[in-house]
C-alpha cells in the first residue's frame, strides 16, 4: 500500500471515528475530568461556585468516617457479591437445560428472556404485590404451608437487599441465558463425540470440554454482570427507594442523595470517583486474570 | 488560587450542564421577549415557572390573565418536571445555569435550597423602591431568610379534619364539634368507627414526614436547639413518634404503617368512603369539591385540626410564596406581578386562605360566604364551620416542615428511621437516638 493511500485511509478512518470521539469527550471524558476536579472541592451549588474552596483530599478522608457512605459501599459490595455469581450460575444452568431437546423449548426461551425487556416500573409493581408481607400471594402460600413467621421481603431491613438481588437476577438472567445458549451451540460436536468415545460421562463432558470453551463468553458476562450490579439505581429506586431505613441504599443512590438532597456536589463527586475506581479495578483484575490463563 | 479555581469550575461546570439543560421545557409557544402594544409601548414578557403537574390549572390561567390585565404584561406559563424525592430539581438546575425566569410560586420550606443556591431575589429593595409595606399587609407570613424577605405569601394552607358523615350515621355517633376538638376525642371516635372486618377505618393519616413530629410541635417542640444542633433528643419528639405509629399499631384506628407501605395506600384514601376521619392539609377540601375526580354519594364534614388535651389550639401551615429568581431581567415588573398574585390569588374562587393580615372581619366574612361556602355547602358545611376551621384568631400556627440547616436531609432521616420503628424493626429509643445522631451530622456537614 502506498503512503498516500495509507494517509487517505487514515483520513477516512478519522472521519468515521470523529463523531464518536466528540461524543466521548463531551459526555464521558469531560464529566469524568470535572468530577475529579470537583471531588477536590467543597462545592455545593454551581451558582455559588465563587464560594467554593479547594480542600484537597478532604472529601476522600470524610468518606472513611462517614457511616452512611460506608453502609452504602457495604451494600453495593453485598449486592454485587450476591448478584454476579447468582446471575452467572442461573444463566448457565438455564442455557444448558434449554439447550437439550425439551418440549416447548422456544416458548421457554422467550419466557426466560421476557423480563429482560420488560418495563422496570411494571416489574416493581408486580413484585411488590407478590411480595406484600401482609397478604401477598407468596406469604399467603407460605402461611398455608405452615410458616408462621413469613419473611418481610422488601419491607424487612434484613431481607430487603437479598430480595432486590433475587428480583434483579430474575430480570437480568435473560441476557446471560441467551449469550450462554449461543456459545453452547457453537461448541463443536466432534469434541464432544471424541470425549464420549474416550469414556467421559455427562458431568466430565461439561467440566472438561464444554465449560472451558465457554471461557471467553464467561469472561465477557462476568464483566458486564459486575458493571450491571453496580449500575443498580433504577431497580432499587423503584422497589425500595433505598429503604427500609438504609437497608438497600447502595452507592448510586447515596451519590444522587448527596448531590441533590444534601447539595454537596464536591462530596458526591468524590463518592462517584470511588465508585469509578472500584469498577476500573475489578475490570482490570478480571482482564489480567483472563490474559494470564489459556484462551480457547 | 481560590478565585482561579472558582472561575474555572464555574465556567466548566456551567458549560457542561448547559449542554444537558438547554432551554426549559415550555408547553407554550415561544414568544418574543418584548412586543409592541397598540400605543407603541413595549409589553414586558414574563416567564412563570410552574410544576408540570399543576400547569393545566385553571387557577393559574386566571392569574396570568389577571396579571396581563392589571400589570400590562404578557405571562408565559412554563411547565417544568415535578421534582421527586432524590431527584435533581429541574428549576434549580435551570436557574443555576442562568435560564431566565421571572415568577415562581412555591412553599416556604421548598425555597430553602433555592436561597442557599443564591437564585432568589431579595425583595426588600424592590419593595422599598415602590414604597410597599410588606409587613403591614402580610405580617409574619412572608418567606424570610436571614431576616430578609424573599417571597410574598399568596396563600396559607392550614391543616384540617375532614370526616365522612355517612360512616358516623351508620355507627350512630353524633358529629364531632370544633369546640375543644382534641386528639383524645379523635382516637376515641376513631375506635368506635373502625370496623376492620368490613374494611372501615376510623381514621387515615398518611405516612408523610410531618405526622412524625406534628403532635410534638403542638406541645411546643422545635426542630433545632439554640446552639444550632438538632432537638430530636427532646422527649416530646419521642412521645410524638410513639403516638403517631400507635394510631395504627396500638389504637388500631387506622391502617398500620406496614399496611400503608406494603399496599402503597394513596394520600387520598379517605375519598374511598372507607375512612371516618382524616387530618391533612387544607388543600384536601379539593377532594370534597372535585366530584368528577372523586365521585361520592356521602356527605362530608370539616373541623379544625385536633390538638392534644390540655394544650392550646394549634394548626400546621404551609405558606405558598411568590418569589422572583435572580435571573429575571424584569425584576420591577415581576415584583408588581408578585404583589398582585399575593394580594389577590385568594379572590379567584379556589378555596385559598389569604395570608393577609390587613383584611377586616367583614372582608373575611364576605370571602367565606362568596368564595368558600358555595363549594362546600352541599355537604351541609356552614360559615361557622369554615370560620372555626381556618379563621379562628386564637389558634397557634406552626410550620408543617422544618426550615433550617440540612432540613431536606433531616426530613429524609426522620422518614427512614421512623419507618423502621413503624414496621417494628427498631426500638423507639434507637430510633430517636439515630435521628439525633444523623441529624446532627447532617447539620455539621451543611455548615462546612
Judge whether residue B427 has pLDDT over 60.
Answer: yes
Q: Which residues of B246-269 are buried (b: 16+ CB within 10 A; e: fewer)?
A: ebbbebbbbbbbbbbbbeebebbb
User: Across the interface, which of A49, A134, A242 has its CB nearest the CB of B10?
Assistant: A49
pLDDT 10s digits, B36-79: 545 556 789 999 999 888 887 788 999 999 999 999 999 999 99
The nearest CA of chain B is from the CA of A284 a distance in Å of 29
State the pLDDT confidence band at B20, using cuts at 50, 70 and 90: very low
Residue B7's H or E segment, with its range, is: helix B2-21
State the pLDDT confidence band at B33, using cuts at 50, 70 and 90: very low
User: Across the interface, which of B1, B5, B259 has its CB nearest the CB of A134?
Assistant: B259
**ipTM score of the complex?**
0.83
pLDDT at position B396:
93
State the pLDDT confidence band at B86, using cuts at 50, 70 and 90: low
Judge whether residue A197 has pLDDT over 70.
Answer: yes
Query: Percent of chain B at pLDDT above 70?
Result: 90
CA distance A68 to B264: 26
- Phi, psi angle pair for B360, to nearest 5°: -80, 165
Q: How far is CA A259 from CA A38, B15, B70, B319, B412, in A?
A: 12, 18, 42, 27, 14
Mutate to test the interface with A, among B3, B9, B100, B436 (most CBs of A within 10 A): B9
CA distance B160 to B305: 4
**B42: β partners:** B36
User: Across the interface, which of B10, B88, B262 has its CB nearest the CB of A260?
Assistant: B88
Q: How many alpha carbons lie under 13 Å from residue A251 in its C-beta half-sphere?
A: 25
Per the prediction, chain B carries an average pLDDT of 89
Q: How many alpha carbons lie under 13 Å from residue A194 in its C-beta half-sphere?
A: 8
Lowest average pLDDT, out of B8-22, B141-155, B289-303, B317-331, goes to: B8-22
Q: Which of A122, A78, A121, A81 is nearest to A248 (CA)?
A: A78
**What are the start-end ranges of the E strands in A8-121?**
none
**Interface touch A54/B264, C-beta < 8 Å:** no
Judge whether residue B31 has pLDDT over 80.
Answer: no
Looking at residues B201-222, what average pLDDT do you find? 95
pLDDT at position B21:
36
**Interface touch B6/A50, C-beta < 8 Å:** yes
Mutate to test the interface with A, among B17, B416, B422, B442 (most CBs of A within 10 A): B416
Whether the CB of A157 is below 8 Å from some CB of chain B: the reply is: yes
Instruction: State which residue of chain B sits closest to A131, comparing Cα positions.
Output: B262
Judge whether residue B14 has pLDDT over 60.
Answer: no
Judge whether residue B28 has pLDDT over 50.
Answer: no
Looking at residues B404-416, what average pLDDT do you find? 92
Judge whether residue B220 has pLDDT over 80.
Answer: yes
User: Across the interface, which of B262, B416, B438 has its CB nearest the CB of A155?
Assistant: B262
CA distance B245 to B417: 12
State the pLDDT confidence band at B371, using cuts at 50, 70 and 90: confident
Looking at residues A144-160, what average pLDDT do you find? 93
pLDDT 10s digits, A56-69: 999 999 999 999 99
Q: Contact B322/B342 with Cβ under 8 angstroms?
A: yes
Judge whether residue A49 has pLDDT over 90.
Answer: no
Q: Which of A191, A274, A269, A190 is nearest to A230 (CA)?
A: A274
Judge whether residue B10 has pLDDT over 60.
Answer: no
**B74: β partners:** B45
Query: Percent of chain A at pLDDT above 70?
Result: 98
The nearest CA of chain A is from the CA of B410 a distance in Å of 10
**Interface touch B423/A41, C-beta < 8 Å:** no
A122: Cβ–Cβ under 8 A, 6 or more apart, which residues? none
Judge whether residue A183 has pLDDT over 80.
Answer: yes
Amino acid at each position: 500500500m502506498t503512503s498516500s493511500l495509507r494517509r487517505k485511509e487514515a483520513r477516512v478512518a478519522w472521519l468515521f471515528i470523529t463523531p464518536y470521539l466528540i461524543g466521548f469527550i463531551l459526555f464521558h471524558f469531560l464529566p469524568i475530568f470535572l468530577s475529579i476536579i470537583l471531588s477536590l472541592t467543597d462545592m455545593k451549588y454551581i451558582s455559588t461556585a465563587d464560594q467554593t474552596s479547594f480542600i484537597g483530599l478532604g472529601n476522600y478522608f470524610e468518606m472513611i468516617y462517614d457511616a452512611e457512605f460506608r453502609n452504602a459501599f457495604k451494600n453495593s459490595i453485598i449486592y454485587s457479591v450476591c448478584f454476579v455469581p447468582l446471575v452467572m450460575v442461573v444463566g448457565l444452568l438455564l442455557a444448558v437445560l434449554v439447550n437439550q431437546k425439551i418440549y416447548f423449548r422456544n416458548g421457554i426461551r422467550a419466557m426466560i428472556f421476557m423480563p429482560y425487556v420488560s418495563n422496570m416500573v411494571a416489574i416493581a409493581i408486580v413484585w411488590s404485590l407478590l411480595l406484600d408481607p401482609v397478604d401477598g400471594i407468596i406469604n399467603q402460600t407460605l402461611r398455608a404451608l405452615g410458616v408462621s413467621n413469613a419473611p418481610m421481603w422488601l419491607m424487612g431491613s434484613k431481607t430487603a437487599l437479598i430480595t432486590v438481588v433475587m428480583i434483579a437476577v430474575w430480570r437480568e438472567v435473560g441476557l446471560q441465558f441467551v449469550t450462554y445458549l449461543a456459545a453452547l451451540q457453537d461448541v463443536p460436536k466432534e469434541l464432544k463425540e471424541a470425549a464420549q468415545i474416550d469414556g467421559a460421562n455427562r458431568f466430565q463432558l461439561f467440566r472438561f470440554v464444554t465449560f472451558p470453551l465457554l471461557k471467553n463468553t464467561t469472561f465477557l458476562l462476568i464483566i458486564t454482570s459486575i458493571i450491571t450490579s453496580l449500575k443498580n439505581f433504577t431497580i432499587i429506586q423503584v422497589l425500595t427507594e433505598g429503604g427500609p431505613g438504609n437497608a438497600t441504599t447502595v452507592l448510586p443512590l447515596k451519590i444522587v442523595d448527596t448531590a441533590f438532597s444534601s447539595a454537596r456536589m464536591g462530596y458526591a463527586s468524590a463518592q462517584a470517583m470511588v465508585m469509578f475506581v472500584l469498577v476500573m479495578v475489578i475490570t482490570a483484575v478480571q482482564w489480567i486474570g483472563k490474559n494470564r490463563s489459556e484462551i480457547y | 488560587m481560590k478565585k482561579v479555581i472558582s472561575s474555572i469550575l464555574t465556567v466548566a461546570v456551567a458549560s457542561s450542564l448547559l449542554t444537558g439543560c438547554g432551554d426549559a421545557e415550555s408547553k407554550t409557544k415561544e414568544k418574543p421577549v418584548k412586543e409592541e402594544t397598540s400605543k407603541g409601548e413595549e409589553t414586558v414578557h414574563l416567564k412563570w415557572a410552574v410544576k408540570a403537574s399543576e400547569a393545566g390549572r385553571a387557577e393559574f390561567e386566571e392569574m396570568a390573565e389577571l396579571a396581563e390585565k392589571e400589570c400590562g404584561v404578557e405571562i408565559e406559563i412554563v411547565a417544568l418536571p415535578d421534582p421527586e424525592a432524590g431527584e435533581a430539581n429541574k428549576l434549580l438546575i435551570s436557574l443555576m445555569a442562568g435560564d431566565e425566569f421571572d415568577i415562581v410560586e412555591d412553599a416556604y420550606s421548598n425555597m430553602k435550597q433555592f436561597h442557599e443556591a443564591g437564585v432568589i431575589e431579595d425583595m426588600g429593595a424592590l419593595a422599598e423602591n415602590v414604597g410597599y409595606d410588606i409587613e403591614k399587609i402580610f405580617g409574619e407570613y412572608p418567606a424570610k431568610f436571614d431576616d430578609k424577605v424573599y417571597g410574598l405569601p399568596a396563600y396559607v394552607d392550614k391543616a384540617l379534619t375532614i370526616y365522612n358523615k355517612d360512616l358516623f350515621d351508620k355507627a350512630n355517633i353524633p358529629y364531632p364539634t370544633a369546640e375543644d376538638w382534641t386528639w383524645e376525642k379523635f382516637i376515641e371516635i376513631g375506635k368506635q368507627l373502625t370496623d376492620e372486618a368490613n374494611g372501615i377505618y376510623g381514621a387515615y393519616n398518611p405516612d408523610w414526614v410531618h405526622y412524625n413530629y406534628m403532635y410534638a410541635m403542638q406541645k411546643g417542640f422545635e426542630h433545632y436547639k439554640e446552639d444550632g444542633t438538632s432537638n430530636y433528643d427532646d422527649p416530646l419528639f419521642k412521645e410524638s413518634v410513639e403516638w403517631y405509629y400507635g394510631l395504627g399499631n396500638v389504637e388500631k384506628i387506622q391502617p398500620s404503617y406496614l399496611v400503608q407501605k406494603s399496599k402503597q395506600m394513596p394520600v387520598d384514601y379517605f375519598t374511598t368512603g372507607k375512612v371516618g376521619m382524616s387530618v391533612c392539609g387544607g388543600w384536601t377540601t379539593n377532594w370534597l369539591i372535585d366530584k368528577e375526580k372523586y365521585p361520592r354519594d356521602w356527605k362530608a364534614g370539616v373541623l379544625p385540626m385536633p390538638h392534644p388535651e390540655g394544650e392550646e389550639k394549634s394548626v400546621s401551615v404551609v405558606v405558598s410564596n411568590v418569589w422572583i429568581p435572580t435571573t429575571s431581567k424584569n425584576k420591577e415588573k415581576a415584583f408588581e406581578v408578585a404583589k398582585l398574585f399575593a394580594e389577590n390569588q385568594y379572590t379567584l374562587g379556589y378555596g385559598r386562605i389569604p395570608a393577609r393580615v390587613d383584611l377586616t372581619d367583614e372582608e373575611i366574612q364576605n370571602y367565606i360566604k362568596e368564595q368558600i361556602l358555595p363549594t362546600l355547602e352541599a355537604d351541609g358545611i356552614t360559615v361557622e364551620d369554615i370560620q372555626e376551621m381556618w379563621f379562628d384568631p386564637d389558634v397557634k400556627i406552626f410550620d408543617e416542615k422544618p426550615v433550617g440547616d440540612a432540613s431536606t436531609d433531616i426530613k429524609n432521616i426522620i422518614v427512614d428511621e421512623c419507618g423502621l420503628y413503624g414496621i417494628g424493626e427498631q426500638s423507639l429509643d434507637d430510633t430517636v437516638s439515630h435521628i439525633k445522631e444523623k441529624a446532627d451530622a447532617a447539620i455539621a456537614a451543611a455548615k462546612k
